[in-house]
């Protein structure tokens, strides 16, 4: 079946066409178009919701058109439209939802509403490199969320851990702001951290010591606000911090990674997980991907480790279409075509 996915929960306007096989569960991405607003929001140091919504309005139809033409199919071939219903910025979500409502009505197509976090989780189901065995633990780390999710063999999901304050991506973004490095913080901090690692190949530790909050707590939850405050205090004490940016970035990133990995491994051990997956915007982080892979191989036995291809880590619509495909196999579709005017009420 052919599915059009649409994602507008934050500052990316995205549309994708996938071809999915109900019998084998195989998903092929035919197009994955993303119009990013990063440059527009950079001057404000973060996403401005009202500006994001206005940009979505301008971009959404051209992005959908491009997704269809790149996939070389017409809308008549579509079997389903998948749309992000939340969580996200309300005005951004509304743009996507209203567009889908209209298209579903005009094209006479069923719709599946997808949870954004579920979308990130299913980014691992696009051409997985190895088999997904259940139960699976998924660490979902993005700008707005940090969750440990348990998925059983019926693909039912349960959140078993979450952040009590800031999300991991938010910690990257706010840390970057404190160090006056720009937005979004994750890719910038990771670039400086890599520079530090390259300069210190033999001794990959830092003299700066930041805490690993809740690493040893007796639950699956996270907290990053204390780490952020610890960074602020260190910067305030250090007159020469601007000369040690790469080292600060290395230690700050490593503190986040250590906590994420420690908690994920413990949760996998407790639940007897057979697969560990990583997803969300922060899963683009090369050090996190490498460190989690090493930890899974060293600390867990016979457990597969999966990460999405780079293009499916930050917000995209291929993951929404894929989540829509799998959830539509058992879930409820929304019928916007009911909005059609009753013919008996039409003016003669
Ligand atoms: O999933 P996403 O695109 O949007 C949300 O659902 O929030 O995630 C965006 C987040 C931002 O906080 C950004 O700083 C972070 O993902 N991010 C990264 C990297 N690339 C993006 N964090 C760490 N390392 C990266 N390479
Ligand atoms: Zn996201």
How does DSSP classify residue 75?
G
> Mean pLDDT, to the nearest integer, of 154-171?
97
Nearest ligand 1 atom, CA 167? 12
How does DSSP classify residue 310?
G
Tell me the pLDDT tens digit for each residue of 27-68.
999 999 999 888 888 888 888 888 888 999 999 999 999 999
Tell me the pLDDT tens digit for each residue of 268-300.
999 999 999 999 999 999 999 999 999 999 999
Max Cα distance, the chain (Å): 83
**pLDDT tops 80 at residue 301:** yes
| Fold of the domain built from segment(s) 2-121+313-345 | Nucleotidyltransferase; domain 5 (3.30.420)
Ligand approaching nearest to the C-alpha of 181: 1
Q: How many CB atoms lie within 10 A of CB 135?
A: 15
CB of 142 closer than 8 Å to CB of 167: yes
Residue 89's SS3 state is coil
Closest listed residue to residue 57, CA positions, set 75, 35, 39: 35
Pocket perturbation via mutation, ligand 1, pick of 123, 140, 144, 186 by most ligand atoms within 8 A of CB: 186
Residue with tokens 């996915």: 5
- The pLDDT assigned to 57 comes to 93
**pLDDT tops 60 at residue 128:** yes
Pocket perturbation via mutation, ligand 1, pick of 12, 38, 143 by most ligand atoms within 8 A of CB: 143
CATH architecture observed for domain 133-308: 2-Layer Sandwich (3.30)
CATH 3.30.420.40 in the chain is located at 2-121+313-345, 133-308
Residue 314 C-alpha to ligand 2 middle, in angstroms?
6
Tell me the pLDDT tens digit for each residue of 169-228.
999 999 999 999 998 999 999 999 999 999 887 677 788 999 999 999 999 999 999 999
């Amino acid at each position: 079946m052919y599915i059009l996915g649409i994602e507008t929960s934050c500052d990316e306007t995205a549309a994708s066409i996938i071809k999915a096989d109900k019998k084998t569960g195989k998903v092929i991405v035919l197009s994955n178009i993303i119009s990013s607003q990063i440059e527009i929001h950079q001057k404000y140091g973060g996403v401005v919701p009202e500006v994001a919504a206005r940009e979505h309005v301008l971009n959404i139809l051209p992005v959908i058109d491009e997704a269809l033409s790149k996939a070389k199919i017409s809308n008549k071939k579509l079997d389903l439209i998948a749309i992000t219903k939340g969580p996200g910025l309300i005005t951004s979500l509304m743009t996507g939802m209203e567009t889908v409502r209209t298209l579903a009505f005009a094209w006479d197509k069923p719709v599946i509403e997808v949870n954004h976090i579920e979308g990130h989780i299913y980014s691992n189901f696009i051409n997985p490199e190895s088999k997904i065995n259940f139960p699976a633990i998924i660490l979902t780390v993005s700008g707005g969320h940090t969750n440990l999710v348990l998925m059983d063999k019926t693909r039912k999901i349960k959140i078993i851990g979450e952040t009590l304050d800031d999300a991991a991506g938010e910690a990257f973004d706010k840390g970057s702001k404190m160090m006056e490095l720009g937005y979004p913080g994750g890719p910038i901090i990771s670039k400086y951290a890599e520079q530090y690692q390259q300069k210190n190949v033999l001794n990959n530790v830092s003299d700066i010591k930041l805490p690993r909050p809740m690493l040893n707590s007796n639950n699956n939850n996270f907290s990053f606000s204390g780490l952020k405050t610890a960074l602020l205090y260190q910067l305030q004490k250090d007159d020469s911090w601007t000369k040690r940016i790469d080292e600060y970035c290395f230690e700050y990133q490593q503190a986040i990674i250590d906590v994420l990995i420690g908690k994920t491994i413990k949760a996998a051990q407790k639940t007897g997980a057979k697969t560990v997956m990583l997803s969300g915007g922060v899963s683009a982080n090369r050090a996190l991907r490498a460190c989690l892979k090493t930890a899974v191989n060293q600390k867990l036995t016979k457990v597969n480790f999966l990460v999405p291809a780079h293009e499916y880590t930050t917000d995209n619509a291929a993951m929404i279409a894929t989540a829509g495909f799998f959830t539509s196999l058992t879930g409820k579709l929304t019928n916007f075509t009911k909005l059609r005017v009753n013919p008996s009420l039409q003016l003669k």
